[in-house]
Amino acid sequence: MKSPTIGVLALQGDAREHLRRIESAGATGSPVRREAELATVDGLILPGGESTTIAKLLNRFELMESLRARIRAGLPVYGSCAGMILLADRILNAASDQDTVGGMDITVRRNAFGRQVESFENRVPMPAIGAAPFWAAFIRAPWVEQAGPRVEVLGRVSGGAADGRVVAVRQGALLATSFHPELTDDGRIHAFFVDMVREVVSGASAVRDPAGMPR
């Protein structure tokens, strides 16, 4: 199959490194700032940044409702750090005007690990991506306080004061981590998401006839 196109929301946050990781994983990366650009991608990454600001920009650029609709229709989306907050159905420590894209049956606590000066790195065992733990960078990161029955926990912090805290989850075509894999030399999480997108695209292709029309 042809290389899937994966967008990175480029309204605020670190889009460039995510785009680089997508390309390294064998997909085509595309920045997304407009509804027309969102309509062309097979998957989307919501990067880190400031979740309240990103949500406001999604509304200002008239992307919020379109993104919600595409998620309901099965668009694969990966949210890192602020992106995890945006995908959560419920947010703790939220600003009074906090909006969310939603879609994942999780409760997320904003800034759970502390302020910017308390940023740290730690190993996160994630058997779904391989035997070796992922060395993760946490920057004003959230964690998952509660996950619904359809949510698969992929990773927890190992060691330290936050030992056992849930920091990586998947629900169907949605993936979220509270850390920033784009800031490391380990491309396994982006490769995992690219494979998720390929699975969805392959499934969609399988229900079309040779003329490209739904069966």
The answer to whether residue 18 is catalytic is no
Q: Which two tokens stand for residue 60?
A: 């200002």
Tell me which H or E stretch contains 59. helix 51-60
The answer to whether residue 81 is catalytic is yes
- The single residue of 118, 182, 190, 199 carrying the catalytic annotation is 182
| C-alpha span between 155 and 192 (Å, rounded) | 14
Phi and psi based region of residue 199 (left: phi greater than 0; alpha: psi -120 to 50; beta: remaining) = alpha
- The single residue of 17, 145, 152, 180 carrying the catalytic annotation is 180
Contact 178, 168 (CB under 8 A): yes
- The single residue of 17, 18, 81, 190 carrying the catalytic annotation is 81
Contact 189, 169 (CB under 8 A): no
Q: Which two tokens stand for residue 35?
A: 């509804």
Other Cβ atoms less than 10 A from the Cβ of 120: the count is: 16
Phi and psi based region of residue 78 (left: phi greater than 0; alpha: psi -120 to 50; beta: remaining) = beta
| C-alpha span between 169 and 184 (Å, rounded) | 19
The answer to whether residue 180 is catalytic is yes
DSSP assignment of 97-123, as one string?
T------EEEEEETTTT--GGG-EEEE
Any idea which residues carry the catalytic annotation? Answer: 81, 180, 182
